[in-house]
Structure 1
Amino acid sequence: MRAVHKRYLREFFPAMFAYVILLLVSVTWLKTLEGTWARALVTMLPVVPIAFVIRAMVRVIRDQDEFERRIDLEAIAIGGGIGGFGFFTYGMLLNAKVLPPPSAESVAIWVLPVLMGCFGVAKCAVRRHYHAQ
Structure 2
Amino acid sequence: MSRSIHQRYQREFWPAMVAYMAIMFLLWPLLPQVHSELLKIALAVLPVVPVLFVVRAMVRLVLGSDELEQRIHLIGLAIAATVVSTLSLAGGFLAAAGVLKLDGAILIWVWPTLVVVYAAGRSWASRRYGGSDVMCNNGIAWHWRLLFAALGFAGIAGLGRHQLLDYQLGMLCGMSAALAGWALVLAVLRWRRRHGRHETL
What is the TM-score of this pair, normalised by structure 2? 0.61
Aligned to 1:29: 30
Q: Does 1:117 align with 2:110?
A: no
Amino acid corresponding to residue 100 of structure 1 in structure 2 = L
Aligned to 2:75: 74
Count of matched residue pairs: 130
Report the 3-state secondary structure (helix = DSSP H, G, I; strand = E; otherwise coil) of the residue aligned with 1:31.
helix
For 2:68 and 2:100, locate their aligned partners in 1 and report how far apart those are by CA, in whole Å.
44
Any idea what the Cα deviations from partners look like across 1:28-86, whole Å, max 9, x if unmatched? 32132112111111122221111100000111011111111010011101111111111
Aligned to 1:101: 101
Compute the displacement of 1:100 (Å).
2.4
Report the 3-state secondary structure (helix = DSSP H, G, I; strand = E; otherwise coil) of the residue aligned with 2:35.
coil
Judge conservation of contact 2:94–2:100 (CA < 8 Å) in 1: no
Any idea what the Cα deviations from partners look like across 1:73-128, whole Å, max 9, x if unmatched? 1110111111111111121222233x22211x222111111111110111111111
Cα-Cα RMSD: 1.5
Please list every run of at least 4 consecutive aligned residues from structure 1 whose deviation after the TM superposition is greater than 4 angstroms: none
Aligned to 2:142: none
Alignment of 1:121-132 (within 5 A): 121-131=120-130
What is the TM-score of this pair, normalised by structure 1? 0.90
Compute the displacement of 1:129 (Å).
1.3
Judge conservation of contact 1:26–1:43 (CA < 8 Å) in 2: no
Structure 1, unaligned stretches of length 5 or more?
none
For 1:20 and 1:28, locate their aligned partners in 2 and report how far apart those are by CA, in whole Å.
12
Bigger radius of gyration, 1 or 2? 2
Structure 2, unaligned stretches of length 5 or more?
132-201
Which structure ranks higher in relative contact order (CA pairs < 8 Å, sequence separation ≥ 6)?
A: 1
